[in-house]
Structure 1
Amino acid sequence: MQSQGEFDLIAQYFKRPAPSGMLGIGDDCALLSPAQGWDLAVSTDMLVEGRHFFADGDPRLLGHKALAVNLSDLAAMGARPLACTLAISLPRVDADWLQAFADGFHALSRDAHCPLIGGDTTGGADQIILSITVMGEVRRHQALRRAAARLGDDLWVSGTLGAADIALRLMLGSLPPDPARLALCRNALEAPMPRLKLGRYLAGVAHAAIDISDGLLQDLGHLLDASQCAADLWLDFLPAHAALQGLDEAVRRDALLAGGDAYELCFAAHPRRREQIDTLSRQLALPITRVGTLRSGSGLRVLDAQGQEVSIQRRGFDHFAAPL
């Protein structure tokens, strides 16, 4: 059987017609134009086999997640997707793997209205490496920048926390085998859904936002540093996924505060927006929970129901720690 070259591989698995008004795969560069009065938002993420995903994972789910984690960055800025590019390094060409990966990627690409318009493929190291760039547009002066939070703002979190972290622990064997619990939370790890609609609604409503990819404490810390303020986080108000029920309290707390791969939005908004955000939660059928407040000073305090500060052991995911 004749091996596929780079351009054959691109044509078979990744090339799709570009939307009207764009120039997609086939030229040296793609061309796209954001609407007048809008800013272009761009973000790039890299996923490495053994670091960010298991070598024997479902390639269709990996295709979905590879794009989802990038779209989550657009959501955090309040941007709507325009297009994306994909660079992929493969140790070998596996037609079945590529077809499943492409199917998962294109399914989310279609649902999110984020067409693939370019990229690169190559043979390389012993592991698969994926690099995706997403482009979106957000109305001028309405992007949810990390540096725009204000003293006295409420802190909010969408969805629930901890499920992906518990799924990873179960798959790594750091928790005792529990098939029922894994079935409850595995989808959160392998097929997260970026909160694009929420992000777009928050543009012009919230002051600042960040997506929770490396753990609530770590990611919220980036927002606080950028905004030069501090925060109190209310431990008992954090929205825990059902998969955390019955776990040891230390494990549960760690999953809530430091568990990565949540891809929910944490955002800051003025207290007068509470009713508006509660209405938005009902309209989207998505839990949006007020979990803290911003204050002067520096640092992040986690408080229990009695207002006592909780000791923290871990703040989030370390990209340079031991691999999977």
Structure 2
Amino acid sequence: MGEFDLIAHYFTRPVRRAALGVGDDCALLRIEPGMQLAVSSDMLVAGRHFFDDVNPVHLGHKSLAVNLSDLAASGARPLAFTLALSLPAVDEPWLKGFAQGLLALADAHDIELVGGDTTHGPLNICITAFGEVPPGKALLRSGALPGDDIWVSGTLGDARLALDAALGKIDPPLPPEVLDAARERLECPTPRVALGMALRGIASSALDLSDGLLGDLTHILEQSQVGAQIDADAALQTMAARAFAPALRLADTQWLECVLAGGDDYELAFTAPAALRVAVQDAACSASTRVTRIGSITAGHGIRVLDANGRALPRQRWDSFDHFA
């Protein structure tokens, strides 16, 4: 199977919303009058972002999900995406599974693949996603103010637990039901697109959590020139695996590291004025997404993590992931 046969067989579909899709040098997108275009690119590299034995259906899902999560963090409605795919060989069963996971998530969000590129080389997946947002309504990292609440969507830390288990860092091993649930969070994250759109006009700042809560939250603090305090217990309560805490026998520091520095959560962290707590909950309800208030924005700089008694915990190695650190 050649390059163009591969594209035609696995990745070419009739466009419905784009003006022109796969087959020409450029795709053409229809944008609603007056809307702004939101664009996000992410790359997944074998051995760096995923294990060699990952289910290709899950990998296809995650490859698009990480981009949709960025659009969600901007409050954008997804429109379309491109795929650049480097393959060491044409493995048709792998391609079938990858395309299945990729396009199923695309269909779930009513978006379409409109172009890209394929080449021979080490396995590498790069997706660029396009969305639209009304002028002045995009969620940014720069609007947090002292007194704002800090919220997160969904669950934190379970993806990191699955990674540590895969690397043999959990002893004794996780029970099968816990491992399966954690691996689902690692390999098939849920982009919070509906929540991001519902938070327009409510959230003062937002971003998606890809490299760890504390490290990612620092980007909001730097852009907004503020500080933060985090309630460690509230953050820990978001972790689904905590329901099995007595059986897992993890040290407190392991739980905290998973939640505060885990990465691969692809949840939203956002801030909002305390006066808008009901509005935040209403937005979460409309998006069928759980949200948890885990702290507040403060004047000054840096992040303090507080225990149940309001005492600052000694800062551990809770830095976010950095490819070049």
User: Fold match, TM over 0.5?
Assistant: yes
1:117/1:276 Cα in 2 relative to 1: closer, same or farther (>3 Å)? same
Shift of 1:180: 3.1
Query: 1: CA distance between counterparts of 2:129 and 2:11?
Result: 15
- Match of 1:105, SS? helix
Query: 1: CA distance between counterparts of 2:108 and 2:282?
Result: 25
Shift of 1:283: 3.5
- 1:56 is matched with 53
Shift of 1:58: 0.4
Query: 2: CA distance between counterparts of 1:145 and 1:38?
Result: 16
Shift of 1:203: 1.2
Do structure 1's residue 320 and structure 2's residue 315 form an aligned pair? no
Deviations along 1:186-211, one digit per CA (max 9) or x if unpaired, are 10001111000000000111111011
Q: How does 1:38-187 map to 2 (within 5 A)?
A: 38-125=35-122, 128-176=123-171, 177-178=173-174, 179-187=176-184
- Match of 2:296, SS? strand
Q: Assess if the C-alpha contact under 8 Å between 2:18 and 2:114 holds in 1.
A: no
Do structure 1's residue 210 and structure 2's residue 210 form an aligned pair? no
1:295 to 291, 294, 298: 298
Deviations along 1:292-323, one digit per CA (max 9) or x if unpaired, are 111111111111122211122222223236xx
- 2:239 is matched with 241
Deviations along 1:66-92, one digit per CA (max 9) or x if unpaired, are 000110000000001010000000111
- 2:216 is matched with 219
- Match of 1:56, SS? coil
Shift of 1:184: 2.5
Counterpart residue type for residue 121 of structure 2 = G
- Match of 2:114, SS? strand
**What RMSD, in angstroms, separates the aligned Cα atoms of the two structures?**
1.3
Query: 1: CA distance between counterparts of 2:36 and 2:291?
Result: 27
* TM-score normalised to structure 2 length: 0.94
Query: 2: CA distance between counterparts of 1:142 and 1:90?
Result: 39
Q: Assess if the C-alpha contact under 8 Å between 2:150 and 2:295 holds in 1.
A: yes
- 1:268 is matched with 271
Query: 1: CA distance between counterparts of 2:44 and 2:17?
Result: 30
* TM-score normalised to structure 1 length: 0.94
1:195 to 180, 184, 192: 192
Do structure 1's residue 281 and structure 2's residue 274 form an aligned pair? no
State percent identity of aligned pairs. 51
Do structure 1's residue 308 and structure 2's residue 311 form an aligned pair? yes
- Match of 1:145, SS? coil
- Match of 2:105, SS? helix
Deviations along 1:243-283, one digit per CA (max 9) or x if unpaired, are 13233211101111001111111001111110111223334
Do structure 1's residue 36 and structure 2's residue 36 form an aligned pair? no
Q: How many residues align?
A: 316
- Structure 2 portions without partners, runs of 5+: none
Query: 1: CA distance between counterparts of 2:158 and 2:18?
Result: 40
